[in-house]
């Protein structure tokens, strides 16, 4: 691996009052890597992800994303990342093309470039016939694929995906991952959370958070070897059982 | 066997018949079984639950719950069923105990009266009973919602996507709770989920897609019906392998499944032929083995796939 | 009954735990009345005035001296024409202009009464009225003296013409408080009820309630009860404040007034219920209630007198329940007339209540 890191976090911590949501996490993500960010509900994944996206200020520690400091250069960070969450992805009452134009515009892309890329992207996805269709008329799987394409429309260095495949049918889920691979091949780093343990296997490296700390970080194969189990599900189970925090 | 739920040709459309949520669904649920509705978002699971819970009227078709008609006897049904919607729907500004007490009163009962039924679940959140529901973590909310749905000792429990967005460990615990409810109290449970791996927790399942049932059977039965040869394939160049598999002439479908690819092949091709093809493409450490299908394989084989062919 | 009680208790808990709602429910009426109370101070002194004397005779001279000698008035110089007077007035240099018409002495002599005009700022109607009253007192004293000293002993009246600038109809606290009562009850009952019900739809808890054997009627009534009680408390608060802080008279029949208020509250609650059936988000409920409340302010005579509206608008105003209620409040609270004079309004309100409540109950869905 090249020593080219897109994310470097060191002792990254977020406290809410007495509660330490994310507790001194340290890790690095290589350029072009697919990095799986796993953890039980409430383990601190969302908080960590928000800090990395420049949406929330760390209480302690430091992190750089795409070469910018998340504490001091949050605005620069936002320009160089893409983000897709399960909840909000696209404007339902705009057409496919209008959504693309809007997001291209937000990232300051030239109109001509937006038009070119729109056509190319829709052709790649096989969506050309739906260019002027309202987003709300599309099936969920299509929306998710489109939302992902939108998140990397401005060629960010890194894209953050927060449970992108929740509730999606099994075929579309796999097609979604094939899109992730394509993006990764183009050099875009992918940082993804998921509750599907088979998807954890698709990542180059996986980190597992328990009680605000990263308890394991390696390739799926090495993790399975390390814990002496056959699947990522069992790795996850073994680690999550050590959780001290109440609830889940 | 006694059917506690019978649905006959249920059709539901929205938006002046433009959106078809359910396209004529029929099924029966036996008393005391865990029945799973397995399918992706938008398949029509929620509409079906709402019709059975007497919250929606079907366009056509009939359904009975515990022998009562969902349209005519809706009030009686509401007394005998517990319903937990997909979204957390309790009062966020009331405490755990206040929520539970309120729902107990609504059903004309008390916490004490049916404590035996919820004890197993409620005890896990009881230490926090004075905490407001809005301040609870996802897992605790789920347990509270389940307690509230059980408080009147219903005959049937409807759970709409109780595990969506929940991590694998909490999901497993949740299904264990449901198993205990079934075994200790003989409760009939109908639950939906988009997670195919949870199908194995059910006694019988219906695979649902685009408002239609693809099949109804026991999970084992569905797997036994899977009739295509299915191979698991692995090599040292996994990224490249998928494309190579798909361009192989013997390939029917190839999809990633965890650390390997699941390949269905055309009749008459051999493993040796694939192995030599892959070696020719520069793969080493090639591992090919026939495997048993999972529910997800079955679902993918059964679902109609209008837009599955990926563009390169 | 136990179910109902527990539901009502739950509603009160929601209200108690939501500071924003509490503020709207209790602080708003108090704030409106208190602000209003401060805006209209009843004690008036230091009335700055200027004189426009078009006669310049001995009588106008003597009367002007009277004003100058009075400790409530401060002389701010004389002006020679109307423009100058208005300029001073507009700059806020003076509170009152005393205008003596030409031929003051002659008119006085003929005992037709000398013509005096008092110009006052009507945008503060109460103060203006008090100031005019003081000035009239001074003028009346003068007229009486004149009469006593006159050889003929003839009756000589000087009747000043009072003219309010900016607010010619002189809407005062007496007019405003009834409007505020109508408005607050509308907001609390209509908007807050609508929001309270829609909130359950939005949060999904309505789905759980509907899936339970609760009757739709129980859900609705249990939702209405707390807001009914709170509206009543608001009514009492406003009445106490306007009686003891603003010193409003309360001349009419109190039980009748309260009874009619309860009918109006039912009208508003039904409106709120109807809105909640139409909307599925709190925002929409809020907007629609505002759309209902705003015409209610315009057309009910709270802000603008109905008599001065174009005829079409006057017709429109007849379908506003608030208009009839405000009229009742005026008659019973301010004018103190007998109950028989508000029978028409009461019947109209009762009829609206019956119609709206039946529509609202009929349109409440027992399914999603």
Which runs of consecutive H residues, i.e. helices, occur in B228-268?
238-247
What does the pLDDT profile of chain A (248 residues) look like in tens digits?
446 899 999 999 999 988 899 999 999 999 999 999 999 888 889 899 999 998 899 999 999 999 999 999 999 999 899 999 876 678 888 999 999 999 888 888 899 999 999 999 999 888 888 889 998 888 888 888 899 998 999 899 999 999 898 888 898 899 999 999 999 989 999 999 998 999 999 999 999 999 999 999 999 999 999 999 988 999 999 998 888 765 44
Q: Is residue B159 part of a domain?
A: yes
Residue B290 has pLDDT above 90, yes or no: yes
Q: What is the pLDDT of residues C44-61, one digit of tens each?
A: 668 888 888 888 888 888
Counting CB pairs under 8 A, whether chains A and B reach 3 or more, is yes
B10: phi then psi, degrees, rounded to nearest 5? -75, 125
Query: What confidence score (pLDDT) does residue C54 get?
Result: 84
What would the mean pLDDT of C354-364 be, rounded to a whole number? Answer: 88
Tell me which chains share at least 3 CB pairs under 8 Å with chain C: B
Same-domain status, B133 and B247: no
Is B304 or C220 the better-scoring residue by pLDDT? C220
Cβ atoms of A94 and A135 within 8 Å: the answer is yes
Torsion of CA C266, C272, C278, C284, to 10 degrees: 170
DSSP state, A4?
Answer: -
Q: Does A248 contact B170 at a Cβ distance shorter than 8 Å?
A: yes
Same-domain status, B87 and B119: yes
Give the HSE-up count for residue A169: Cα atoms under 13 Å, Cβ half-sphere: 28
Query: What confidence score (pLDDT) does residue C114 get?
Result: 67
Same-domain status, B171 and B268: no
Q: Does B137 contact A185 at a Cβ distance shorter than 8 Å?
A: no
Same-domain status, B150 and B207: yes
| Chain B interface, best mutation among A167, A200, A218, A240, by max B CB count within 10 A | A167
Specify the CATH number for the domain of residue B127.
3.40.50.300
Of A123, A166, A241, the CB nearest to B164: A166
Same-domain status, B140 and B282: no
Q: Does A175 contact B168 at a Cβ distance shorter than 8 Å?
A: no
- Residue B7's SS3 state is strand
Same-domain status, B148 and B250: no
Q: Out of B205, B224, B243, pick the residue that ends a domain.
A: B224
Domains, in order of start, for chain C:
2-39+172-363 (no CATH), 47-165 (3.40.1710.10)
What would the mean pLDDT of B51-78 be, rounded to a whole number? Answer: 95
Residue B27 has pLDDT above 90, yes or no: yes
Q: Is residue B194 part of a domain?
A: yes
What is the distance between the alpha carbons of residues A21 and B137, in angstroms, rounded to a whole number?
A: 13
Q: Does A178 contact B310 at a Cβ distance shorter than 8 Å?
A: yes
Same-domain status, B86 and B176: yes
What would the mean pLDDT of B20-48 be, rounded to a whole number? Answer: 94
Q: What is the pLDDT of residues B39-60, one digit of tens each?
A: 998 899 999 999 999 999 999 9
Query: What confidence score (pLDDT) does residue B34 get?
Result: 97
Is C306 or B195 the better-scoring residue by pLDDT? B195
Q: Is residue B58 part of a domain?
A: yes
Residue C29 has pLDDT above 90, yes or no: no
CA distance B191 to chain A (A): 15
pLDDT band at C125 (very low <50, low <70, confident <90, very high): low
Does the interface ipTM go beyond 0.95?
A: no
Q: Is residue B303 part of a domain?
A: no
Same-domain status, B7 and B56: yes
Of B128, B136, B256, the CB nearest to A202: B256
Counting CB pairs under 8 A, whether chains B and C reach 3 or more, is yes
Query: What confidence score (pLDDT) does residue C152 get?
Result: 58
Chain B: residue whose CA lies nearest to A221: B259
Residue B309 has pLDDT above 80, yes or no: no
Q: Does B167 contact A40 at a Cβ distance shorter than 8 Å?
A: yes
pLDDT band at C175 (very low <50, low <70, confident <90, very high): low
Same-domain status, B57 and B181: yes
| Chain A interface, best mutation among B121, B145, B310, by max A CB count within 10 A | B310
DSSP state, C101?
Answer: P
Same-domain status, B172 and B51: yes
Same-domain status, B187 and B235: no
Residue C213 has pLDDT above 70, yes or no: yes
Interfacial residues of B (vs C; Cβ cutoff 8 Å): 50, 53-57, 74-75, 78-79, 81, 83, 85, 87-94, 98, 101-103, 105-108, 148
What is the distance between the alpha carbons of residues A81 and A207, in angstroms, rounded to a whole number?
A: 20
- Residue A154's SS3 state is coil
C337: phi then psi, degrees, rounded to nearest 5? -80, 170
Range of the domain at B156: 3-224
Of B54, B57, B92, the CB nearest to C203: B92
- C contacts of B21 (beta carbons < 8 Å): none
Does the model's pTM come out above 0.90? Answer: no
What would the mean pLDDT of C64-74 be, rounded to a whole number? Answer: 85
Instruction: State the total domains in chain B.
Output: 2
Return the axis-axis angle of helices C254-278 and C193-203, rounded to nearest 10°: 30
What is the distance between the alpha carbons of residues A217 and A208, in angstroms, rounded to a whole number?
A: 7
Q: Does B307 contact A140 at a Cβ distance shorter than 8 Å?
A: no
Structure tokens at C182: 């109508």
Q: What share of chain B is helix, strand, coil (3-state, %, to 5)?
A: 35, 30, 35
What is the distance between the alpha carbons of residues C297 and C186, in angstroms, rounded to a whole number?
A: 10
- C contacts of B57 (beta carbons < 8 Å): 367
Closest CA to A95 of A62, A134, A121, A65: A134
Q: Is residue B77 part of a domain?
A: yes
**To the nearest whole number, what is the mean pLDDT of chain B?**
91
Same-domain status, B110 and B198: yes
What is the distance between the alpha carbons of residues A198 and A174, in angstroms, rounded to a whole number?
A: 10
Specify the CATH number for the domain of residue B245.
3.30.70.100
Query: What confidence score (pLDDT) does residue C78 get?
Result: 87
Q: Is residue B305 part of a domain?
A: no
pLDDT band at B164 (very low <50, low <70, confident <90, very high): confident
Helix (H) or strand (E) run with residue A197 in it: helix A197-201
Structure tokens at A91: 């404007």
Q: Is residue B128 part of a domain?
A: yes
Q: Does B226 touch chain A (CB under 8 A)?
A: no
């Amino acid at each position: 691996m090249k020593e080219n890191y897109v994310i470097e976090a060191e002792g990254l911590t977020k406290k809410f009052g007495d509660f330490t949501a994310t507790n001194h996490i340290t890790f690095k993500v290589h350029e072009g890597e697919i990095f799986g960010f796993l953890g039980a509900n409430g383990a601190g994944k969302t908080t960590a992800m928000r800090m990395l996206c420049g949406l929330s200020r760390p209480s302690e520690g430091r992190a750089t994303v795409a070469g910018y400091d998340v504490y001091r250069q949050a605005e620069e960070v936002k320009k160089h990342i893409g983000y897709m969450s399960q909840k909000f992805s696209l404007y339902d009452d705009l057409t496919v093309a209008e959504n693309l134009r809007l997001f291209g515009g937000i990232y300051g892309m030239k109109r001509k470039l937006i038009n070119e890329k729109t056509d190319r992207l829709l052709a790649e996805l096989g969506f050309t016939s739906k260019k002027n269709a309202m987003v709300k008329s599309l099936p969920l799987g299509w929306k998710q694929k489109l939302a992902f394409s939108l998140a990397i429309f401005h060629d960010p260095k890194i894209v953050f995906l927060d449970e992108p495949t929740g509730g999606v049918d099994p075929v579309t889920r796999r097609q979604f991952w094939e899109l992730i691979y394509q993006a990764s091949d183009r050099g875009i780093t992918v940082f993804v959370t998921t509750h599907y343990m088979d998807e954890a296997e698709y990542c180059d490296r996986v980190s597992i958070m328990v009680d605000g700390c990263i308890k394991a970080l390696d390739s799926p194969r090495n993790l399975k070897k390390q814990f002496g189990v056959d699947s990522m599900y069992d790795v996850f189970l073994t680690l999550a059982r050590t959780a001290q925090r109440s609830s889940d | 066997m006694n059917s506690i739920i019978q649905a006959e040709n249920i059709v539901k459309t929205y938006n002046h018949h433009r959106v078809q949520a359910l396209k004529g669904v029929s099924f029966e649920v036996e008393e005391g079984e865990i029945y799973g509705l397995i399918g992706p978002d938008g398949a029509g699971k929620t509409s079906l639950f709402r019709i059975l819970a007497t919250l929606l009227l079907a366009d056509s078709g009939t359904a009975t719950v515990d022998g009562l008609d969902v349209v005519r006897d809706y009030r009686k049904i509401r007394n005998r069923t517990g319903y937990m919607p997909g979204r957390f729907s309790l009062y966020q500004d009331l405490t755990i105990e206040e929520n539970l007490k309120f729902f107990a009163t609504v059903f004309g009962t008390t916490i004490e009266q049916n404590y035996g039924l919820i004890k197993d679940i409620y005890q896990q959140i009881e230490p926090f009973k004075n905490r407001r529901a809005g301040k609870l973590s996802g897992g605790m909310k789920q347990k509270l919602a389940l307690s509230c749905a059980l408080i009147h000792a219903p005959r049937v429990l409807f759970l709409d996507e109780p595990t969506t967005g929940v991590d694998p460990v909490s999901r497993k615990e949740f299904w264990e709770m449901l198993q205990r409810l079934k075994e200790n109290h003989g409760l009939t449970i109908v639950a939906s989920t988009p997670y195919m791996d949870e199908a194995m927790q059910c006694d019988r399942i219906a695979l649902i897609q685009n408002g239609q049932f693809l099949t109804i059977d026991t999970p084992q039965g569905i797997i036994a019906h899977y009739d295509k040869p299915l191979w698991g394939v692995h090599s040292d160049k996994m990224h490249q392998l998928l494309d190579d598999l798909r361009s192989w002439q013997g390939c029917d479908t190839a999809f990633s499944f965890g650390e390997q690819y699941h390949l269905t092949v055309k009749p008459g091709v051999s493993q040796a032929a694939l192995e030599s093809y892959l070696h020719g493409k520069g793969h080493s450490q090639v591992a090919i083995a026939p495997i048993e299908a999972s529910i997800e394989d079955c679902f993918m084989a059964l679902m109609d796939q209008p837009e599955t062919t990926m563009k390169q | 009954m136990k179910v109902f009680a527990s539901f009502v208790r739950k509603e009160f808990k929601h209200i108690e735990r939501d500071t924003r709602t509490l503020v709207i429910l209790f602080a708003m009426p108090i704030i409106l009345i208190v602000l209003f109370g401060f805006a209209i101070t009843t004690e008036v002194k230091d009335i700055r005035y200027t004189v426009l004397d078009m006669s310049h005779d001995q009588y106008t001279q003597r009367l002007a001296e009277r004003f100058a000698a009075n400790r409530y008035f401060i002389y701010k110089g004389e002006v020679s024409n109307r423009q100058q007077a208005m300029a001073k007035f507009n700059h806020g240099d003076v509170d009152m202009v005393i205008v003596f018409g030409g031929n003051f002495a002659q008119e006085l002599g003929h005992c037709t009464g000398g013509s005096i005009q008092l110009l006052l700022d009507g945008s503060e109607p109460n103060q203006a009225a008090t100031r005019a009253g003081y000035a009239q007192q001074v003028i009346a004293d003068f007229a009486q003296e004149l009469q006593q000293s006159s050889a003929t002993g003839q009756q000589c009246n000087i009747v000043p013409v009072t003219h309010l600038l900016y607010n010619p109809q002189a809407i005062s606290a007496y007019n405003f408080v009834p409007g505020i009562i109508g408005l607050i009850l509308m907001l609390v009952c209509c908007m807050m009820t609508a929001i309270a019900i829609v909130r359950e739809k939005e949060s999904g808890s309505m789905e759980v309630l509907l899936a339970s054997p609760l009757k739709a009627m129980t859900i609705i009534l249990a939702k209405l009860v707390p807001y009914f009680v709170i509206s009543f408390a608001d009514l009492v608060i406003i009445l106490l404040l306007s009686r003891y802080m603003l010193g409003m008279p309360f001349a009419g029949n109190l039980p009748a007034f309260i009874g009619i208020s309860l009918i109006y509250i039912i009208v508003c609650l039904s409106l709120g219920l109807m809105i909640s059936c139409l909307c599925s988000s709190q925002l929409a409920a809020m907007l629609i209630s505002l759309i209902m409340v705003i015409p209610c302010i315009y057309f009910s005579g709270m802000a603008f007198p109905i008599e001065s509206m174009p005829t079409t608008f006057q017709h429109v105003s007849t379908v506003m329940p608030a208009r009839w209620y405000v009229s009742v409040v005026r008659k019973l609270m301010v004018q103190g007339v007998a109950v028989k004079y508000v029978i028409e309004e009461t019947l109209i309100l009762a009829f609206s209540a019956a119609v709206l409540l039946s529509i609202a109950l009929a349109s409440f869905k027992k399914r999603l």
